[in-house]
Amino acid sequence: MMLKNDLILRAARGEQTERTPVWLMRQAGRILPEYRALRAKLSGFKELVETPDLAAEVTIQPIDALDVDAAIIFSDILVVPEAMGLTYEMVEARGPLFPETVKSAADVARLRVADPEEHLGYVLEALRVTKKALGGRVPLIGFAGAPWTILAYMVEGHGSKTFSKARRMLFQDPELSHQLLRKITDTTIAYLRAQVEAGANMLQVFDSWAGILNPQHYHEFSARYIGEICAAMPADVPVTVFAKGAFFAHHDFAQMPCRTIGLDWNEDPRAVRQLVGDKTLQGNLDPCALYGTPEQVRAATIEMLERFGPQRHIANLGHGVYPDTNPERVKVFVETVKEHSTRMRQDLA
């Protein structure tokens, strides 16, 4: 199927675009009343994730409601540990919980390298249904967590400010850590390749807990596995690496075989451009900027666009949109990106 809007793919490949493409991390979710209405009728988050027709429906909701330039498949990074043998629960208003965690060599040995069709078939089916329903309106983004971030949840068992159990494992048993990262990486490579076969046009790797590692550990336990994942993807499918808080790892990113680097709002895009060369950058408005008045949202968005410059930029927030954000403000953000980035090119011409 021919894409009617392929701006984000062209921007990711470093090609010239007539305006800056825009989407939001967590655009499919609680900010939309139509999501909350559907979600309220179900037993919980997992039912939504595991029912392909419903996952496809909420994936498409923000395309209709917000007019963004890409759809991201509605799922979660935690489906991977589950496919490897560690079930998660999504506890209402608290977040993910793993009743069993990884503590020992025996625990790592028990985990399997998952087979995507067998263990993650519901995500692949959701991608196929979504792709068909989109009818080429916008590209579809597939995703997975980075191996380090997945290890962090598997060892810790739930969210944490420090993930000190997970970081402790890196210090106390680097070899076991690498064994676990190996299994997660092999699963993730097969899973992301299967997502491409099921219709994903582009991929994003979320390293949400990158920022709590020291630079040496980041290099040894995270960046090298992400690099391996990027290198294993089909050459025509752009990969974005979003490593939240990893301002110390620009050298790793410059070497990474990926097209796009996602930036959180702590980063100065001009400084990052100097360090990572000709890669495309994604980001990075502070999600809290969307709590402002329409005028404030517009001003903050324009400031951000000017810092990135007109080309090789995919506009987004610096992290997922917060659930209590007014969708009208999101629309102001999206419209401002479209208008102002068009104007930036006219000013240059």
Catalytic member of 10, 67, 76, 122 = 76
Catalytic residue among 39, 128, 137, 343: 39
DSSP SS3 for 94: coil
> What is d(CA 231, CA 23) in angstroms, rounded to the nearest whole number?
25
Whose tokens are 């995919």? That residue is: 314
Residue 209, sorted as left (phi over 0), alpha (psi -120 to 50) or beta, turns out to be: alpha
Is 329 one of the annotated active-site residues of the chain?
Answer: no
Instruction: Enumerate residues 6+ apart whose C-beta is below 8 A from 2.
Output: 136
**38 belongs to the binding site for ligand CP3 (CB under 6 A):** no
CB-based contact 311:17 (threshold 8 Å): yes
**Residue 76 bears catalytic tag:** yes
Name the residue type at position 292: G
Q: Which residue is nearest to ligand CP3 (CB)?
A: 208
Question: Chain centroid to CA 85: how far?
Answer: 23
**Site for ligand CP3, residues 66 to 105, rule: CB under 6 A:** 72, 74, 76-78, 90, 95-96
**Angle at alpha carbon of residue 247, lines to 212 and 231, rounded to 5°:** 90
* Sole residue written with tokens 């996602």: 262
Q: Which of residues 138-157 bind ligand CP3 (CB under 6 A)?
A: 143
Q: Which is nearer to ligand CP3, 21 or 310 (CB)?
A: 21
Site string for ligand CP3, 199-238 (x = CB under 6 A): -------x-x------------------------------
Question: If you count them, how many residues does the chain have?
Answer: 349
CB of 272 to ligand CP3, least distance (A): 19
Question: If we measure between CA atoms, which residue out of 131, 172, 139 comes closest to residue 155?
Answer: 172
Query: Would you give the binding string for ligand CP3 spanning residues 246-285, x where CB under 6 A is met?
Result: ----------------------------------------
Among 39, 128, 307, 343, binds ligand CP3 (CB under 6 A): 39
Q: Which of 10, 13, 30, 307 is catalytic?
A: 30
Annotated binding site for substrate: 26-30, 76, 153, 208, 319
- Closest to 199 (Cα-Cα) out of 27, 71, 57, 25: 71
Using CB under 6 A, list all residues that contact ligand CP3.
25-30, 39, 45, 72, 74, 76-78, 90, 95-96, 143, 159, 206, 208, 320
Which residues belong to the active site?
26, 30, 39, 76, 153
